[in-house]
Amino acid sequence: MDSRLLVGATVNDQMDEESMSKLFAHEGIQRFQEIMMMYRCAIKEVQTKLENLNDEMSTKRQRNPINSIKSRIKTPRSIYEKINRKGMDMNMDTLLNDMHDIAGIRVVCSFIDDIYAIANMLTLQDDITLIKMKDYIKTPKENGYRSLHLVVEVPVFLSDRKQIMKVEVQIRTIAMDFWASLEHQIHYKKMDNAPITIIDDLKKCADNIYETDIEMQSIRKRLLGN
């Protein structure tokens, strides 16, 4: 997930004229902005659900399973580059139907058990539909990356209709997020020419962090007597 946040920047701030003209050639910038608005609304819907679940767990169990929640919308430039890279059709239907990560939410939890509990509670809600799940915790990527990825659909209620929108939700522990943030910084600086030993060391760090997560969860369970 792109870590940049879209707060209130204009399209012109994020995309050069060539890319903009290619993306908006047939359907216009206003339609694009409408779709981005709907994705922002979808993020608000899912984020509110997550915050409500966290509040409920805080009341019932005297503990917040969620440490932090961050959200982002892909920039127009990133959208264009992905459509071009994947060979998808350059139109607005692609934005609504074929791209699953335009709207993204990252949820950071304290323990691994919290990840699956939050994912389960979110996807069991009546108006949430689980489209895809990739468990990179049980089956990590080759570089050691771990996180639970969900793509969900949520209804957005507009003045004249209901629009179903997709949101990608990534859920990970504090330790996993720490590793991913540092790996991201390293990757975009020197990884293209990195020696194999550095890649191996990053993988080793990821494995050590995961073992620490497991041990911390075990300690917590022993303290609670379960």
User: Residue 213: how many CB atoms within 10 A of its CB?
Assistant: 21
User: Computed over its alpha carbons, how large is the radius of gyration of the chain?
Assistant: 19
**What does the pLDDT look like over 21-46, one tens digit per residue?**
565 565 667 788 899 999 999 999 99
Whether residue 96 is contained in a domain is answered as yes
* Position with higher pLDDT, 226 vs 222: 222
Average pLDDT on 209-217 reads: 95
Inter-residue contact 144 to 207 (CB < 8 Å): yes
Beta bridge partners of 153: 129, 166
Whether residue 6 is contained in a domain is answered as no
Structural domain boundaries, residue 79: 11-224
| Catalytically active residues, by annotation | 168
- pLDDT value of position 27: 61
| Helix (H), strand (E) at residue 103 | strand 103-109
Question: What are the residues whose beta carbons fall under 8 Å from the beta carbon of 112, sequence distance 6 or more?
Answer: 137, 173, 213, 214, 217
Whether residue 4 is contained in a domain is answered as no
Check which CATH number belongs to the domain holding 134 and give it: 3.30.460.10
Number of domains in the chain: 1
Q: Report the predicted TM-score, pTM, of the whole model to 2 decimal places.
A: 0.84
Pick the closest to residue 50 from 96, 130, 107, 132 (CA basis).
Answer: 107
Whether residue 2 is contained in a domain is answered as no
